[in-house]
């Protein structure tokens, strides 16, 4: 679809992949509302990339509802959401706890589900809309110490497939993007961006994939795409 004059919400838009997707949408003349937990950082990034910020936490349903009400009231439309907010937790299986599972699933699974549920109401009425879920190659293959994180991304993949089946008759496209390793602030307690590495992906490649998928004419869509570094070894 044409991105010019479109309105998008990007969760977790203050750093890494979310920030780069938001930047590319702005470059393509979309109105972009980024969300995040850190209000100071949110304001600074919005100013840097010429986006609009809205302080919201996807683990809080009241904040999700307030976000959608704000966007629809202020702009009168919503064309797509990018479910990018996510957290990670890695440990040996014997160190897995119920609390650690809950913390990750609140953001990576429940948060995405509630964002999508709210968007679906609007998209079904208008018979169009795009939902992009930023997952991981961990959504298709588990690995040592990845019990919690991989489980959350496997769950996201299953939900994405369900939403594709439900929403496709309404001309709503649900797209899952699975990056392999991208050095970002993801997983870091201090939220400082990691240094980029020559043989690993950057947020730019993931943003390029998202923009390309969104620009495709609405008669077609990409259900799922994996993005790997060419030569990581």
Residues recognised as catalytic: 149
Per DSSP, the three-state class of 98 is: helix
DSSP secondary structure code for residue 37 in this structure: S
Cα–Cα distances in Å, from 189 out to 55, 84, 87, 91, 179?
Answer: 20, 18, 10, 16, 21
Cα–Cα distances in Å, from 132 out to 6, 94, 108, 124?
Answer: 15, 34, 13, 16
Contacts of 124 (CB under 8 A, 6+ apart): 167, 170, 172
Q: Do the Cβ atoms of 191 and 38 come closer than 8 Å?
A: yes
d(CA 10, CA 82): 5
d(CA 191, CA 196): 15
């Amino acid at each position: 679809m044409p991105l010019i004059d479109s309105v998008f919400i990007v969760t977790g838009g203050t750093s890494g992949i979310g920030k780069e997707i938001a930047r590319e949408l702005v470059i393509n003349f979309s109105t972009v509302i980024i969300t995040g937990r850190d209000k100071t950082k949110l304001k600074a990034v919005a100013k840097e990339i010429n986006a609009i910020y809205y302080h919201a936490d996807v683990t809080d349903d009241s904040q999700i509802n307030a976000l959608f009400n704000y966007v629809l009231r202020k702009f009168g439309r919503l064309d797509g959401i990018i479910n990018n907010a996510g957290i990670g937790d890695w440990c040996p299986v014997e160190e897995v706890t119920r609390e650690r599972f809950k913390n990750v699933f609140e953001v990576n699974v429940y948060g995405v589900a509630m964002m999508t549920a709210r968007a679906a109401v609007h998209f079904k009425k208008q018979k169009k809309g795009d939902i992009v879920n930023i997952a991981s190659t961990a959504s298709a293959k588990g690995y040592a110490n990845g019990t919690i994180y991989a489980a959350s991304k496997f769950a996201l993949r299953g939900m994405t497939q369900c939403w594709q089946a439900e929403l496709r008759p309404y001309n709503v496209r649900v797209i899952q993007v699975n990056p392999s390793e991208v050095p970002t602030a993801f997983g870091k307690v201090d939220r400082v961006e990691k240094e980029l590495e020559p043989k690993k992906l950057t947020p730019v490649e993931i943003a390029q994939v998202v923009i390309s998928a969104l620009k495709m004419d609405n008669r077609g869509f990409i259900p799922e795409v994996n993005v790997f570094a060419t030569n990581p070894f």
